[in-house]
Amino acid sequence: MLEPDFLKKGDKIAIISTARRINKKEIADAILIVEKWGLVPIIGKSIGAIDHQFAGSDKERALDFQNMIDDKEIKAVWCARGGYGTVRIIDDIDFSSIIKKPKWIIGYSDITVLHSHLHTLGICSLHALMPIDIHKNTKASLDSLRDTLFGKKIKYTIPAVKRNRNGQGTGQLVGGNLSILYSLCGSSSSIDTSGKILCVEDLDEYLYHVDRMMYNLKRNGYFDNLSGLIVGGMTDMHDNTIPFGKKVKRIVLDIVEEYDFPVVFKFPMGHVEDNRALILGAEVSLEVSEDNAILSYKSSY
């Protein structure tokens, strides 16, 4: 996998939206933080653009993203928000410039479309908080984004929680939003998880749908040779009037019961305040024990 160069003070970082609409006022805090870090924010034309719920038309959003990845002075592209819309433009993007000279693409949720597609191209990307949420994210999550962008090696140690499955695994870190991974199955953007560590998170889903999505990943071979599973925030889950009968942990454990890889729940990633930065595509080690779960990077940076 190709890792983009880490940033240094004075570098330019673009802020754009590939999905839902957002205005400049909503990213004001992010602009201030970028400047505080010594970086130069470049605001894309999609910020403030409106086409119904989207940040401009598909053509406008695709062109904004294209211009930022083609601009040699831009060292990172920070997606301002998720929602829905990135899949509508993914096939219109020419990734040749970023293949020649990788740069950090940052975001989560709907941005899983970009992360997954970049992974198929052999390029690392950054699953991390976005400007829309920056006012409510923890200091630790902000620090993890800054430290990762500037090349500080990070290791996460989190307390053990009930129903973790102990064990150890190594491999490239892949994944993101469960609904998006599910929707990409069968497409050219679907990831290969063989020998890798898969992380998933989601928001505002019915429990039966979580079950359906996990079964679909299983039927697509996502768990066949997996080295480890990280379950992040499964936030604001819903149940039917007639209860489904299982919560998220039991759904996941039942579906992966036949496999022997470690499983960790409540990892700080996703639609949670403590959304830690993760380098997707990087070689990592996952150790799950009675006391804690440790995620550490094995790559040279």
| Active-site residue identified among 26, 60, 201, 205 | 201
Taking CA atoms, 214 is separated from 119, 138, 253, 284, in Å, by 20, 29, 10, 23
Answer yes or no: is pLDDT of 301 > 80.
no
Respond yes or no: is residue 35 known to be catalytic: no
- Alpha-carbon span 298 to 301, nearest angstrom: 9
Task: Please say if 26 is a catalytic residue.
Answer: no
* Beta-strand runs (E) in the chain: 12-16, 40-43, 74-79, 104-107, 125-127, 155-159, 167-177, 197-203, 228-235, 263-264, 278-280, 283-288, 292-297
Tens of pLDDT, residue by residue over 32-52, are: 999 999 999 999 999 999 999
Question: Which residue in 17, 26, 60, 109 is the catalytic one?
Answer: 109
Q: Sheet of 283-288: strands edge to edge?
A: 155-159, 292-297, 283-288, 167-177, 197-203, 228-235, 263-264
Cβ burial of 225 (10 Å; 0-12, 13-18, 19+) is middle
The pLDDT of residue 299 is: 64
Give the global pTM: 0.97
Distance CA(213)–CA(60), nearest Å, equals 31
Per the DSSP assignment, residues forming a β-bridge with 43 are 15
Q: How far apart are CA 180 and CA 199, in angstroms?
A: 12
Q: Say if residue 208's pLDDT is above 90.
A: yes
Please give the pLDDT value at position 20. Answer: 98
Catalytic residue among 115, 117, 127, 271: 271
* Tens digit of each residue's pLDDT (9 = 90 or more) over 141-168: 999 999 999 999 999 999 999 999 999 9
DSSP 8-state secondary structure symbol assigned to residue 90: G
Q: State the pLDDT confidence band at 248, using cuts at 50, 70 and 90.
A: very high
The token duo for 297 is 């990077």
Is residue 271 part of the annotated active site? The answer reads yes
Distances (CA, A) of 147 to 65, 115, 140, 166: 24, 20, 10, 29
46 to each of 81, 116, 170, how far by Cα in Å?
11, 22, 38
